[in-house]
Structure 1
Amino acid sequence: MLFQEVHGIPPQSDVDQVLVIGKFDGVHIGHQAILDTARNVAPPGTRLAVMSFNPHPTFVLTGDEAYLRTLTPPTEKLRILAELGVGSYYSIRFDKAFAAMDPEQFVVEFGTRLRARQIVVGEDFRFGRGGSGDTALLRTVGSRLGIGVTVVSPVVENGSKVSSSQIRAHLAAGRVEAAEALLGRPYTITGTVVHGGDCGRAIGFPTANLSGIDAYVMPKSGVYAVSAAVSERDKGEIVSHEEIWFGVLLAGGRTTISGDRFQLAVHLLGFSGDLYGKQCRVSFLRRIRDEQAFASAEELQAQLARDCDTTSAMVGLADVRLTGDLIRQGSAFVRTSFGKD
């Protein structure tokens, strides 16, 4: 778990820190490279800290409502950053007033308040009024304050800079494997299982319908092979070990004879039991097909059977339950452990 989590303007830090600043939407491999660099330049005895912003600055500055959804909502971002060894997390409320802050004031205010010994950012980092602050200004003001500044070059994959926008585009096109390559892990959405219409159960394919997922960027509608980590929670805390299953996920409108409300519903291969109220964290492994409309329940039933066969062939087993923390290995685990001939 994170040692310290602060929302809003943080208090004076009681320890020296290496401060990484950025949006960190997705905590993708480019962000991870920045964190790796921060660990490498950290003076002895300092704590690794991340300053991020909420809501997404692009939404505040442009009004683009697509950015009300994020690749990693706050809880998900905290979980990933904690796994990467971050000791302090500062979530700064980003609004028009904050966006208008003088860039030099920004460095002085947060550099001293957070006792930054080093500040580490990506080379395209911009800050302050109208984005007028850049890495050159950051170095100038940092030098005056006795703060070292390290600027990290972007990570490039297939000739393009890795970015959250690129990952969003992959998801919008259903390219979940491409998104995984840039994230360094499968794209994951966490929700709570709620009652649905029981249409799937009626034709022999019960599904877990996920609620509480509105903050996430949604993938293109369609049918996906997934892994799913299922656990019980009480007041936000996990009270049971995660059980990890493979499954078939339907994203979009109800894939029945009618209905068009976007949702995520997952059928777990080989599962029987009660999932209502449990937390389900689904990781997208591969897109199987487009969403379809069916003329009859029988046609839908036959297609879902084929989807399950496709997923079973991909993972190598039709009925598999795993326990532990293998979800973090995602499809890499599938391919290395179950994908061999």
Structure 2
Amino acid sequence: MEFTIMEGHALASPAPQVLTIGKFDGVHLGHRAILNAARALVGPKERLAVMSFEPHPTYALTGNPEYARWLTPRRERVRIFTDLGVDAFYVARFDRAFQQLEPAAFVDGYLVPLRVRHVVVGPDFRFGRGGQGTVDVLRHLGQERGFDVTVVQPVEEHGHKVSSSRIREHLREGRVEAAQALLGRPYVISGEVVHGDKRGRTIGFPTANLGGIDAYVLPKAGVYAVFVEVEDAPDTCISHAFGVLNAGYRPTVDGRAFQLEVHLLDFDGDLYGKTLRVSFLRRIRDEVKFDGLEALKTQIARDCDAARALVGLPSAAQAERPRST
């Protein structure tokens, strides 16, 4: 897939394109409906393209720190769009100059060079200075510039619109299964394994500490059953495993910073420097301060058995039981 950051204007496209435009934060079921509608319009020798913006427009316009983080940072969106068969992904800098563009200037500077034949958006799409550009304005400009516009209605789940804001709310409350229902897949955070205090190893539950996660929306503090993929794993390393993840401040050891620490079930090895993709499956419990490491160790063992039961693995005691001959 072609990936381009657009600085001030778009470069000429090598082929006509069907383009979808939006924040695509989460690439949730509503976004996928837009992508599916666009894909159905792509003709021979045409490309399916996506245009998004950075930083998050809500953060750029309001300064709300919640939107300094993404459900799907750029690297994750590139991965998802590639899997979905998108041919080109464009990111426009949502800086002050971009925000001041008149609707016609946006179309002439960003859409016309891309040889857009058809634009597919949601009904709430706005563009141009002060959000002056509505869907009707886009249609009018498209008629003048030679492209059509299709509007895809929102996807609903249990009578409510599927939206990134709802997914963010579910994650704030630890409802990872509800977030998964709107995303159409488990919520994922990727991070590089970095060195921590190695306390988990001393109590028999070594953990991989994830670094580089500041760009992600983080879930509510607590313990979760997760599925872990090791990116670019060599032959000597596992490629995936189930695990138990603690998200939070580690109050039992007087932690101060919010961290993600994951213990991989049935694995003991070196993961330092490797990138883990962690899919959140189920929430097990709240984060609790225990009276010492022994109490913590006992609870982690229970958490592991709870995770094993959730994903259909035998308990630790069953796994260690010798087979009869």
TM over 0.5, shorter chain: yes
Q: Quick check: 1:32 aligned with 2:39?
A: no
**Contact 2:250–2:289 (8 Å) recurs in 1:** no
CA RMSD, 1 decimal: 1.7
Unaligned runs of 5+ in 2: 317-325
Structure-1 residue corresponding to 2:99: 99
* Counterpart residue identity of residue 4, structure 2: E
| Structure 2 residue identity aligned to 1:305 | A
Query: In 2, are the aligned partners of 1:269 and 1:319 still within 8 Å (CA)?
Result: no
Distance in structure 2 (CA, Å) of the matches to 1:261 and 1:129: 39
Q: Which amino acid aligns with 2:266?
A: G
Q: Report the 3-state secondary structure (helix = DSSP H, G, I; strand = E; otherwise coil) of the residue aligned with 2:112.
A: helix
The answer (yes or no) to whether the contact 1:270–1:318 under 8 Å persists in 2 is no
Do the aligned partners of 2:223 and 2:284 also contact (CA within 8 Å) in 1?
yes
SS at match of 1:169: helix
Alignment partner of 1:150: what SS? strand
Shift of 1:261: 1.4
1:148: how far off? 0.8
Counterparts of 1:185 and 1:50, CA distance in 2: 20
- 1:317 is aligned to 2:313: yes
CA distance in 2, matches of 1:240, 1:189: 24
Cα distance, 1:41 vs. partner? 1.7
2:160 corresponds to: 160
**Shift in CA distance, 319/48, structure 1 to aligned 2, threshold 3 Å:** farther
Name the residue aligned to 1:266: 262
Query: What is aligned with 2:287?
Result: 291
What is residue 2 of structure 2 aligned with on the other side? 3
Distance 1:229 1:217 in 2: 19
Q: How does 1:55-66 map to 2 (within 5 A)?
A: 55-66=55-66
Classify the secondary structure of the residue corresponding to 1:52: strand
Which secondary structure does the structure 1 equivalent of 2:227 belong to? strand
The alpha-carbon deviation at position 16 of structure 1 amounts to 0.4
Report percent identity of matched pairs: 57
Shift of 1:10: 2.6
Residues in 2 aligned to 1:121 and 1:232: alpha-carbon distance in whole angstroms: 35
Q: 1:77-113: CA deviations, max 9, x gaps?
A: 1000111111011110001221111012212322211
CA distance in 2, matches of 1:181, 1:95: 33
CA contact (8 A) 2:305 2:315 kept: no
Contact 2:10 / 2:109 at 8 angstroms: preserved in 1?
no
Alpha-carbon distance change, 319 to 117 in structure 1, aligned in 2, over 3 angstroms: farther
- Contact map agreement 2:20 2:50 (CA 8 A) in 1: yes
Instruction: Identify the residue that residue 302 of structure 1 maps to in structure 2.
Output: 298
The 1:318–1:253 alpha-carbon spacing in structure 2 relative to 1, beyond 3 Å, is: farther
